[in-house]
Amino acid sequence: MANEMMNRFAVDPFFDRLARRFFSPTEWEKDSVNMGALKTDIKETDQDYMVKVDVPGIDKKNIHLAYNDGDLALNIDQSHASEKKDEQGRVIASERSHGVMSRTYELPSVDRDHISAQVENGVLNIVLPKAAKSNDKNSQIEIQ
């Protein structure tokens, strides 16, 4: 009877694993959970905008940038696959995941032809030079 009482409080293995993943996710799960955030810093100077986006573990071939009508569009398309095999080389588990993230930043008056971007140590650095402003204060237009 005492054993029956104790068994009533036994945790189901499925829910036990689910709870452990929720409260203590693996490193890969932490990365996939945090990926949706696209943590970004934007600094503006008189000459340009400097954008830094955290992209840990993302290959630069999976990052797509476009600038159009004052908007910088960032799209990331990432896939992950893994296999676990036993001692005889038989596959015992195979997992795949695919995720797409995107974000748009409004950064007006940019010289589109001189935008530069690079990925270094898990950070995407983008420099967007501002379009040259006319220093001529005279609003008169000469008619020819």
Name the strand (E) or helix (H) holding 16: helix 13-23
How far is 65 from 132, CA to CA, in rounded Å?
22
pLDDT digits (tens, 9 = 90+) for 95-143: 888 888 899 999 999 999 999 999 999 999 999 999 986 555 555 556 5
What pTM value is reported for the model?
Answer: 0.63
How far is 111 from 79, CA to CA, in rounded Å?
33
Residue 50 · residue 42 · CB < 8 Å: yes
Residue 63 · residue 81 · CB < 8 Å: no
Residue the block writes with tokens 């569009």:
73
- How many CB atoms are closer than 10 A to CB 95? 10
pLDDT digits (tens, 9 = 90+) for 57-82: 889 999 999 999 999 999 999 888 88
Q: Is the pLDDT of residue 27 over 70?
A: no
Domains of the chain: 33-129 (2.60.40.790)
Average pLDDT value for residue range 11-31: 50
